């Protein structure tokens, strides 16, 4: 029975339009696997998206696009709960309580905030961006999640979640499950194809190193073939000495299931060009059916919206129960009905 399984919760911002390969390998692929073994809740984090400016029509379209991509990746709404964060008002409500439990210095230490605010500049940085990790804490705690499947860049936010859950439990009595990060070593961090020292990111300075899953496969193949490698010629996994080649091998291994050792052997004595040509084909073979499945959902917005409506209803039942406990524990006077 679903309720006897341990619970996972995760989320993705719907702001970028297309997911990139890092989102898929680092997170969404695990979500799909976990729906069979866990009681899984997955969320389109639109409240998080507006921490930086969004054109309203784009945000709405991108939220549907994100839902379609998650389903296109293999998530089954019958086996998990897929919902839009703003459809469940308890996120913002618990977020406020958690804000009041977080130290200012503690929030200021979040590296994602520091990176993102550096890009926005002081005047362009909203207070929402500053408190966004705390909203993420609320996202997780509302569902009493045991595990949170994410990429490496989210680890610090899960640490914050654990700290705040323990703080709340210590102050008000046992209330929250203290969650663990679920981060797979092989896919924790996928790197930019042009700047392999940096993680693949939607906010990269150039799109050349970014594999967007919804791009035309031709464009994607070209990006793989133009990936930065090194002046050596040996195909060997060495993330420090050969970050570009190692990233390509990692992606190849993750998409095909071949081990790194098998791939090193396969390309022994061959040049980087052969590796890139084959990997371009592997990536195209992955994105082509993914795009087709995603397009099917996009072509049927009514079905998509009703999946999200059902998901929100299921999510709210759980979230409302947790929030009611929290409101009681902190001493809010119940509203007379």
Q: Which residues are catalytic?
A: 116, 199, 202
Question: Is 199 near ligand TYM (CB under 6 A)?
Answer: yes
Question: Is 68 near ligand TYM (CB under 6 A)?
Answer: no
Q: How far is the CB of 331 from ligand TYM (least distance, A)?
A: 27
Q: Please count the other Cβ atoms lying within 10 Å of the Cβ belonging to residue 27.
A: 24
Touching ligand TYM, residues 142-181 (CB under 6 A): 148, 150-151, 153-154
Find the binder of ligand TYM among 29, 189, 223, 242 (CB under 6 A): 189
Stretch that binds ligand TYM, among 132-140, 165-173, 241-249, 263-271 (CB under 6 A): 132-140
Stretch that binds ligand TYM, among 3-11, 163-171, 225-233, 315-323 (CB under 6 A): 3-11
Touching ligand TYM, residues 246-305 (CB under 6 A): none
Contact pattern for ligand TYM over residues 15 through 54, marking x by CB under 6 A? -------xx--xx-----------------x--x------
HEC string for 173-196: CCCCCCCEEECCHHHCCCECCCCC
Closer to ligand TYM by Cβ: residue 192 or 278? 192
Question: Is 62 near ligand TYM (CB under 6 A)?
Answer: no
Q: How far is the CB of 334 from ligand TYM (least distance, A)?
A: 29
Question: Is 13 near ligand TYM (CB under 6 A)?
Answer: yes
Q: How far is the CB of 45 from ligand TYM (least distance, A)?
A: 4
Q: How far is the CB of 144 from ligand TYM (least distance, A)?
A: 13
Question: Is 116 near ligand TYM (CB under 6 A)?
Answer: no
* Interface residue list for ligand TYM (CB under 6 A): 9-13, 22-23, 26-27, 45, 48, 136, 139-140, 148, 150-151, 153-154, 189-190, 199-201
């Amino acid at each position: 029975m679903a309720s006897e399984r341990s619970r996972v919760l995760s989320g993705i911002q719907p702001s970028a339009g297309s997911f990139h390969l890092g989102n898929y390998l680092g997170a969404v692929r695990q979500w799909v696997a976990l729906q069979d073994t866990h009681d899984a809740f997955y969320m389109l984090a639109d409240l998080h998206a507006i921490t930086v400016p969004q054109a309203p029509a784009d945000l709405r379209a991108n939220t549907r696009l994100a839902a379609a991509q998650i389903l296109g990746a293999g998530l089954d709404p019958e086996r998990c709960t897929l919902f839009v964060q703003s459809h469940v008002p308890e996120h913002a409500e618990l977020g406020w309580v958690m804000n009041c439990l977080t130290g200012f210095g503690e929030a200021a230490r979040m590296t994602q905030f520091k990176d993102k605010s550096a890009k926005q500049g002081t005047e362009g940085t909203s207070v929402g961006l500053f408190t966004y990790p705390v909203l993420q804490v609320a996202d997780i705690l509302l569902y009493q999640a045991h595990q949170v499947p994410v990429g490496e860049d989210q680890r610090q936010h899960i640490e914050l979640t654990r700290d705040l859950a323990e703080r709340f439990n210590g102050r008000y009595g046992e209330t929250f499950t203290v969650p663990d990060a679920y981060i797979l070593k092989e896919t924790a961090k996928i790197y930019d194809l042009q700047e392999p020292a940096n993680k693949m990111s939607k906010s990269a300075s150039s799109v050349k190193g970014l594999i967007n899953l919804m791009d035309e496969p031709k464009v994607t193949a070209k990006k793989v073939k133009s990936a930065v490698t090194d002046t050596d010629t040996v195909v060997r996994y060495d993330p420090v000495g050969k970050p570009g080649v190692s990233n390509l091998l990692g992606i190849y291994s993750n998409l095909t299931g071949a081990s790194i050792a098998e791939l090193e052997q396969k390309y022994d004595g061959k040049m980087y060009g052969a590796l890139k040509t084959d990997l371009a084909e592997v990536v195209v073979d992955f994105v082509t059916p993914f795009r087709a499945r995603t397009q099917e959902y996009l072509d049927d917005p009514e079905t998509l919206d009703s999946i999200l409506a059902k998901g929100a209803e299921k999510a709210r039942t759980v979230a409302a129960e947790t929030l009611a406990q929290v409101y009681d524990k902190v001493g809010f006077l119940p509203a007379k009905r």
